[in-house]
Structure 1
Amino acid sequence: MGASAEHLARRVAGHHPELPESTSGTLRFDLREGARTEHWYLTIDHQDVRVDRSAEEAELVVRADREVFDRLAEGRLHPAAALLRNDLTVKGNLRLLLTLRRLFPGPPGARHPRETACGLAGPR
């Protein structure tokens, strides 16, 4: 199982308090590997995410090679950057594309801005 499939199956499904409570919608990922396409379907209902294997229609459909999805899932590629470089294509509600940044990890070694600011300010 590639990084993207493992991330979707094991880490994306469930409750995500980092998502705004008003976030809801459906996303379908079409992962291409050679002549084969694997479909993953996410249902976001407020802060809960359900992950299924389905090719159903969705509000946002994201298509890319598996290698691109693996880089997204590992935090080595930002979804907007991938879109601008034509590494992935999207059809539908682009607002949901930004949700991926909260579901996928940040770059390796990245720290939350608050942690960095607190470290610069020193102990109180």
Structure 2
Amino acid sequence: MGTTVADYLRGLGPGLRPELPETTAGTLRLDAREDGRTEHWLLTIADQHVEVSRSAEDADLVVRADRSVFDEMATGHVHVSAALLRNDLTVQGDIRLLNLLRRIFPGPPGARHPRTVAREVMEGRTGVGGWGAPR
């Protein structure tokens, strides 16, 4: 099996996370259910830093899902918003903070930033022509 949510969260370093907004702060608790028990992870976000701890204390936003859903999010195979729309996860609290969770978890494997793709197109390094048309 690939990366689990536990592995991913343990691997989040204490450094600056520029993908997070500078002015947004809050706490998110992830409740991962598996085999009749729940594992709790508390993410405290402030000043583009994320502190991860194992705690069931109250949070501004609580996100609940089966552990397998969180594991898929940790590998980038499931997008937070898609999981919410499919009812694979539920949220309680300040839903505006859900966007932070989307930014903390990785994107799909092999995904590239649109600016990088555009730069490559302009330099003629991809098989895509102008306006996204195949060459």
Normalised to the residue count of structure 1, the TM-score between the two structures is 0.93
Q: Which ranges in structure 2 are unaligned for 5 or more consecutive residues?
A: 125-135
What code does the residue aligned with 2:101 have?
L
2:96 is the counterpart of 1:105 = no
Deviates more, 1:8-17 or 1:66-75: 8-17
* Residues 78 and 4 (structure 1), Cα distance of their counterparts in 2 relative to 1, 3 Å cut: same
Q: Helix, strand or coil for the counterpart of 1:119? A: helix
Quote the offset at 1:14 in angstroms. Answer: 3.6
The whole-number CA distance in structure 1 between the counterparts of 2:85 and 2:100 is 17
2:133 counterpart residue number: none
Question: How far did residue 12 of structure 1 move?
Answer: 6.0
Structure showing greater relative contact order (alpha-carbon pairs closer than 8 Å, 6 or more residues apart): 1
TM-superposed deviation, 1:15? 2.0
Any idea what the Cα deviations from partners look like across 1:75-100, whole Å, max 9, x if unmatched? 11111110010000000111111111
Q: CA RMSD in A?
A: 1.6
Count of residue correspondences = 123
Decide whether aligned partners of structure 1 residues 65 and 13 sit closer, same or farther in structure 2, where only a CA change above 3 A counts. farther
* Structure index of larger Rg: 2
Q: Which structure 1 residue ranges, 5 or more long, are not aligned? A: none
Q: Distance in 1 between matches of 2:14 and 2:88?
A: 25
Write 1 or 2 for the structure with the bigger share of strand.
1
Q: Which string of whole-angstrom CA distances, capped at 9 and with x for unpartnered residues, describes residues 39-78 of structure 1?
A: 0000001201100000000000000000000011111111
Does the 8 A contact of 1:27 with 1:96 survive in 2? yes
- Letter in structure 2 aligned against 1:7: Y
Q: How far apart in 1 are the matches of 2:98 and 2:15?
A: 18
In 2 relative to 1, CA 77–12 (structure 1 residues): closer, same or farther, beyond 3 Å? Answer: farther
User: Secondary structure, in 3 states, of the residue corresponding to 1:43?
Assistant: strand
TM-score by length of 2: 0.86
1:2 positional shift = 5.7
State the partner residue of 1:11.
Answer: 12
